[in-house]
């Protein structure tokens, strides 16, 4: 986190496109490492709580994005330079990172109890089966995060170019999406705890597919805004469930598994807007949104993979009292 926060100032100091590209590369690398470590630590927090908290962590991430957007807009309004704005934000990030550092959980996994030789799976089977499931989680994350990327980059333009909304009104497209996504993530942990992560992914993806289909076919601005809101609500709990499932599939390799899911997921977030841009050469922008709707239908249909050994992530296993007393 301190490295990521320190690298934040570099884009503000760039004076040409090449320097900006290098600065963004460094910042992106640090941010990627931070993203994987945060989600991996959230897996350990879930295990300590014995209940889901991953969606709440992602809700805090969304709230941070909203705060950053408001602060950035205000900084531009009063004439602060990008270097000053990013420098202050980076310094605040360093402080925020160091304050809770000593309170982080110990993440060394406990040694598993060896199974009897007659029932223990072979080493090749233990390596093959979890790896296959992790890559399925990663592909599902790619699908869901591709849909998020579409909303990030194309929601406002859709209202402006397809429905003729004024610029101020068009901005509400992403605003409604972000608001319902944040709200949904604040509630998703309770839903997951009661109905299971597979059900949350299935019905969340299906809800998102309905929402983006409404956007694609809507002739009215208010109806499109409702569609974007429904899209955000449906997507809100999907990615956190996949990150959590990847981390709990093999606690000894939580960081590796989360990095695979996150890496392929962010590839989808980058590829989604580009894919939509290419498809606009063939059809109108609003009809390209049927592509993410199809991906969400596929995600809903395959959500049962979360039931296979990782249902609900952390299991309520009783822990010995002395060990609980030693937990940081």
Q: What domains sit in the chain, N to C, each tagged with a CATH number? A: 2-103 (no CATH), 129-307 (1.20.1250.20)
Please tell me the predicted confidence (pLDDT) of residue 151.
86
Q: Which residue has the higher pLDDT, 62 or 286?
A: 286
pLDDT in tens, 25-47: 999 888 888 888 888 888 888 88
Q: Average the pLDDT over 114-126 and give the result.
A: 40
Please tell me the predicted confidence (pLDDT) of residue 120.
41
Q: How far apart are CA 242 and CA 240, in angstroms?
A: 5
CB 261 within 8 A of CB 141: yes
Q: Considering the chain, what percentage of its residues have pLDDT values greater than 70?
A: 86
Helix, strand, or coil here: 32?
helix
Q: Which residue has the higher pLDDT, 6 or 106?
A: 6
Q: What is the pTM of this model?
A: 0.71
CB 50 within 8 A of CB 189: no
Please tell me the predicted confidence (pLDDT) of residue 119.
34
**Closest of 246, 175, 238 to residue 201, by C-alpha:** 238
Q: How far apart are CA 244 and CA 241, in angstroms?
A: 5
pLDDT in tens, 43-99: 888 888 888 888 888 888 878 877 877 787 788 778 888 889 999 999 999 998 888
- 140 pLDDT above the threshold of 80: yes
The structure tokens 């597919």 sit at: 209
Tokens of 114: 């060896």
Please tell me the predicted confidence (pLDDT) of residue 108.
58
Q: How far apart are CA 1 and CA 24, in angstroms?
A: 16
Instruction: Give the range among 66-70, 135-139, 209-213, 221-225 with minimum mean pLDDT.
Output: 66-70
Distance of CA 207 to the CA centre of its chain: 17
């Amino acid at each position: 986190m301190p490295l990521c926060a320190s690298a934040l100032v570099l884009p503000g100091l760039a004076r040409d496109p090449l320097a900006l590209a290098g600065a963004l590369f460094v910042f992106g690398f640090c941010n990627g490492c931070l993203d994987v470590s945060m989600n991996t630590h959230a897996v350990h927090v879930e295990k300590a709580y014995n209940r889901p908290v991953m969606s709440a962590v992602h809700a805090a991430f969304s709230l941070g994005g909203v705060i950053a957007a408001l602060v950035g807009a205000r900084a531009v309004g009063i004439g602060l330079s990008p270097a000053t704005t990013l420098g202050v934000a980076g310094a605040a990030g360093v402080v925020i990172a160091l304050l809770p550092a000593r309170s982080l959980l110990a993440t060394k996994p406990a040694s598993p109890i060896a199974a009897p030789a007659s029932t223990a799976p072979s080493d090749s089977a233990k390596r093959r089966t979890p790896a296959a499931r992790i890559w399925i989680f990663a592909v599902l994350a790619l699908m869901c995060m591709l849909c998020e990327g579409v909303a990030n980059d194309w929601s406002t333009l859709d209202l402006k170019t397809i429905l003729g909304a004024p610029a101020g009104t068009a901005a509400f497209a992403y605003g409604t999406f972000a608001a319902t996504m944040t709200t949904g993530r604040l509630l998703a942990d309770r839903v997951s705890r009661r109905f299971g992560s597979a059900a949350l992914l299935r019905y969340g993806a299906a809800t998102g597919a309905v929402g983006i289909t409404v956007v694609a076919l809507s002739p009215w601005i208010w109806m499109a805004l409702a569609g974007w809101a429904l899209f955000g609500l449906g997507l809100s709990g999907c990615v956190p469930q996949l990150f959590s499932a990847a981390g709990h599939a093999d606690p000894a390799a939580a960081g590796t598994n989360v990095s695979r899911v996150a890496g392929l997921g962010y590839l989808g977030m980058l590829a989604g807007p580009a894919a939509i841009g290419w498809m606009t050469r063939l059809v109108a922008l609003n009809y390209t949104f049927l592509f993410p709707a199809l991906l969400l239908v596929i995600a809903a249909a395959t959500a049962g993979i979360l039931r296979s050994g990782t249902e609900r992530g952390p299991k309520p296993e009783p822990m010995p009292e002395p060990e609980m007393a030693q937990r940081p």
